[in-house]
Amino acid sequence: MRLRLRARVLVAALTCVGLVACGGVNRAGTKRQILNGLSGLGLQESTKTCVADSIDKFTDAELRKLNASNADKAVQKRFADALTQCGAQEAAALTTDTTAATSSATTVASGASTQPAAAASAASTASTASKSVVSVDTTADQAASSVPLFESDFEPVCRGVGIKRSAPYAATAGVVHPALGFLGKANALVTMAGTIPDDWTIQWSASGDALAKIELVACSERTVETFAKECTGYTTSDQDGERVAKFYDTTYTVTLRAAHSGDVVATTTVDAKAIDCPIVVTFAPGASTTNEYATDEAAVQTFLKPFVQP
């Protein structure tokens, strides 16, 4: 049930991406803005790749027209359909992974049924395996699990809970110490796309436990929000009329932690000013307003560099 609900949320959210008129729109900038706008969904890396590849199918001229809300209906439909397909792809992948793991656990239990003394233990193992799949967000350090780590599995590190399957951190100079980033209010942090450069992190892969190589987790906790201005002119493919984003100056406490242990490595404060309205904003289905919070990626990267790329 949870996966079916997540599937509907993903498909709906990926069609509720609002674009606003802004100069200099191109494919590279649009990809970055859309992935930042969707960071709260905790998308798999494969879905992020799908979104990026979909945008590459549009010309810069088409994206500028979409941004200015004067693209023809055919282009608007292509754009909405492409993002919707990415949402459906993620939902299908999650369902497939869960079904396969649950089926494997069931096989273990039924195979032990000829030995009554072992059956209860096997059934207990099967139940535990099934639960670990359903609640994979909070049981990422099950070393024997066949389910690869996802970015969202590292969120507990921001609360001091280490991920034992991840690589230990050692402050070694001359090598990159791969990192992930989270952003938001305390106890409601989501992955932050774009803040961690590609050469500072590891991309998720379905073929192996790639994220087990992550050593560091950057947690940007939003502590102060001050309303700065309204950003207008946003339109989406699922609803007529313009939408409004309320834009806030934001202060963050940025804490860098070791992924394996959850220990604090360093901390700082970053003040981000709401200057340029975001090109892309994600609205809840049917909503006419949303809140957006300023970020300062350059300041966060400056703080992280001595630890991630010493």
Helices 73-111, 60-67: axis angle to 10 degrees equals 100
Residue 294 pLDDT > 90: yes
* Alpha carbon distance 138, 136 (integer Å): 5
Q: Which of 177, 238, 201 is nearest to 12 (CA)?
A: 238
In a domain, 53, yes or no: no
In a domain, 19, yes or no: no
Residue 26 — pLDDT band, cuts 50, 70, 90? low
Q: Which domain holds residue 235?
A: 151-308
* Contact present, 104 and 145 (Cβ < 8 Å): no
The confidence score (pLDDT) of residue 127 equals 35
Give the alpha-carbon dihedral of 53, 56, 62, 65, to 10 degrees. 60
In a domain, 98, yes or no: no
Segment 253-267 shows an average pLDDT of 97
In a domain, 219, yes or no: yes
The confidence score (pLDDT) of residue 206 equals 74
The confidence score (pLDDT) of residue 129 equals 34
Segment 286-302 shows an average pLDDT of 92
Q: What sign results for the dihedral spanned by CA atoms 266, 189, 176, 198?
A: negative
Tokens of 208: 């192996």
pLDDT in tens, 214-231: 999 999 999 999 999 999
- Exposed, middle or buried, 88 (CB in 10 Å: 0-12/13-18/19+)? middle
DSSP codes of every residue in 56-100: TTS-HHHHHHHHTT---HHHHHHHHHHHHHHHHHHHHHHHHHHHH
* Alpha carbon distance 228, 209 (integer Å): 42
Segment 256-279 shows an average pLDDT of 95
Strands 239-258 and 289-293: parallel
Q: What sign results for the dihedral spanned by CA atoms 272, 27, 281, 190?
A: negative
Q: Which amino acid does the sequence have at 143?
A: A
Segment 254-275 shows an average pLDDT of 97
pLDDT in tens, 72-125: 767 777 777 777 777 777 666 665 555 554 444 433 333 333 333 333 333 333
pLDDT higher for 263 or 287? 263
DSSP codes of every residue in 277-292: PPSEEE--TT-SEEEE
* Contact present, 183 and 189 (Cβ < 8 Å): yes
Tokens of 69: 């809300």
pLDDT higher for 42 or 178? 178
In a domain, 230, yes or no: yes
Residue 266 — pLDDT band, cuts 50, 70, 90? very high
In a domain, 176, yes or no: yes
In a domain, 83, yes or no: no
Least confident of 98-107, 203-212, 260-269, 288-297: 98-107
> Can you give the pTM of this predicted structure?
0.59
Least confident of 77-81, 136-140, 203-207, 230-234: 136-140
In a domain, 185, yes or no: yes
Residue 252 pLDDT > 50: yes
Return the bridge partners of 248, or none.
227, 293
The confidence score (pLDDT) of residue 63 equals 74
Return the bridge partners of 179, or none.
216
Q: Where are the beta strands (DSSP E) in the chain?
A: 17-19, 179-184, 190-191, 216-236, 239-258, 264-272, 280-282, 289-293
User: For the chain, what's the residue count?
Assistant: 310
Return the bridge partners of 40, or none.
none
- State the chain's mean pLDDT as an integer: 74
Count structural domains, the chain.
1
